[in-house]
């Protein structure tokens, strides 16, 4: 019933091929399905960020390809890629996610504005999403007035706002205390369960890893293991 929305084919990335080559990814072939809740783990420098950047169309592979919903993004031009990201991919970064001069509400609706969504829908959806991430009361606060955890929740709401095919989150909890981290995970999990939103996130945190239903372990740029875990392991 589930179909592959992301497929990488022998994805390889070599940084500085001419001077000091760094093999950040080696022949990574993975496939992700709609509705996944997947964690990419591995030691520092193992290629997690590189992999997520490749899938998100933020970086180009040295060889191999990335297909999203049957479309190869590997050969796309910069302009096409920006547009593709806007329409298909939600991003949550580790930090500096939000536009500092915009309120939480504006940050969320901004992406829908970029997508040229209908205004009424935009406002309604913004409020609904901020409510879902538990920030109904703080909608008009600017990022500076929010805690790190609250900011990341706004970032998740923004990523969801664009109705992406999947959301990529590179170490979204790295800057958070554990209570905030678990709270963020709760929200992501709820979105995943209730709305079938696909999440792929990288992390170092064992408790975050425990919540994933699929754990891909990278070592030295290659996939070392790819394990589907028990779906019911939801207690932190």
Ligand X SMILES: Nc1ncnc2c1ncn2[C@@H]1O[C@H](COP(=O)(O)OP(=O)(O)OP(=O)(O)O)[C@@H](O)[C@H]1O
Residues contributing to the site for Mg ion (CB under 5 A): 48-49
Confirm or reject binding of residue 55 to other proteins (CB under 8 A): no
* 157 vs 150: CA distance, rounded Å: 10
Give the residue with the Cβ less far from Mg ion, 38 or 150: 38
Residues 6+ apart with CB under 8 A from 77: none
Confirm or reject binding of residue 116 to other proteins (CB under 8 A): no
Answer with the entry of ligand X, other proteins, Mg ion, none that 42 interacts with (C-beta below 5 to 8 A by kind). Answer: ligand X
Q: Which stretch binds other proteins (CB under 8 A): 89-97, 133-141, 184-192, 200-208?
A: 89-97
Confirm or reject binding of residue 83 to other proteins (CB under 8 A): yes
Considering Cα of 50, then 16, then 67, then 99, what sign does the dihedral take? Answer: positive
Here's the x/- map for other proteins, 170-209, by CB under 8 A: it reads as ----------------------------------------
> Which among 211, 201, 203 is positioned nearest to 232, based on CA atoms?
211
Give the residue with the Cβ less far from other proteins, 152 or 217: 152
Contacts to ligand X by CB under 6 A: 15-16, 22, 24, 42, 44-50
> Which among 228, 164, 177 is positioned nearest to 5, based on CA atoms?
164
Any idea which residue has 């600017």 for tokens?
142
Give the residue with the Cβ less far from Mg ion, 48 or 211: 48
> Which among 23, 20, 12, 22 is positioned nearest to 60, based on CA atoms?
12
Answer with the entry of ligand X, other proteins, Mg ion, none that 215 interacts with (C-beta below 5 to 8 A by kind). Answer: none
CB of 114 to other proteins, least distance (A): 6
Answer with the entry of Mg ion, ligand X, other proteins, none that 44 interacts with (C-beta below 5 to 8 A by kind). Answer: ligand X
Q: Which stretch binds other proteins (CB under 8 A): 4-12, 65-73, 102-110, 131-139?
A: 102-110
* 34 vs 51: CA distance, rounded Å: 18
| Rg of the chain on CA atoms, in Å | 17
* 222 vs 45: CA distance, rounded Å: 11
Confirm or reject binding of residue 71 to other proteins (CB under 8 A): no
Q: Where are the alpha helices (H) located in 46-147, listed in sequence order? A: 48-55, 78-88, 104-114, 119-132
Structural tokens at position 154: 């706004």
* 33 vs 216: CA distance, rounded Å: 14
Instruction: Give contact residues for other proteins (rule: CB under 8 A).
Output: 53, 56, 58-59, 78-79, 82-83, 85-87, 91, 93, 96-97, 99-102, 106, 110-111, 113-115, 158, 162
């Amino acid at each position: 019933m589930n179909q592959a929305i992301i497929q990488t084919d022998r994805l390889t990335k070599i940084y500085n091929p001419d001077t000091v080559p760094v093999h950040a990814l080696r022949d990574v072939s993975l496939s992700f399905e709609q509705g996944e809740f997947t964690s990419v783990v591995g030691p520092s420098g193992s290629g997690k960020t590189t992999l997520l950047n490749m899938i998100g169309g933020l970086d180009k592979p040295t060889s191999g390809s990335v297909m999203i919903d049957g479309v190869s993004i590997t050969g796309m031009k910069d302009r096409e890629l920006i547009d593709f990201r806007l329409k298909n991919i939600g991003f949550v970064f580790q930090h500096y996610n939000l536009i500092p001069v915009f309120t939480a509400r504006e940050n969320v609706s901004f992406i829908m504005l970029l997508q040229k969504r209908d205004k009424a829908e935009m406002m309604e959806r913004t409020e609904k999403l901020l409510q879902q991430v538990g920030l109904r009361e703080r909608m008009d606060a600017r990022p500076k007035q929010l805690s790190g955890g609250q900011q990341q929740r706004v970032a998740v709401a923004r990523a969801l706002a664009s109705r992406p095919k999947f959301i990529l989150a590179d170490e979204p909890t790295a800057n958070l205390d554990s209570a905030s981290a678990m709270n963020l995970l709760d929200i992501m999990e709820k979105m995943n369960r209730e709305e079938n939103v696909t999440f792929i996130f990288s992390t170092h945190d064992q408790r975050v890893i425990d919540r994933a239903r699929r754990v891909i372990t990278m070592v030295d740029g290659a996939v070392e293991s790819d394990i589907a875990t028990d779906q019911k392991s939801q207690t932190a």
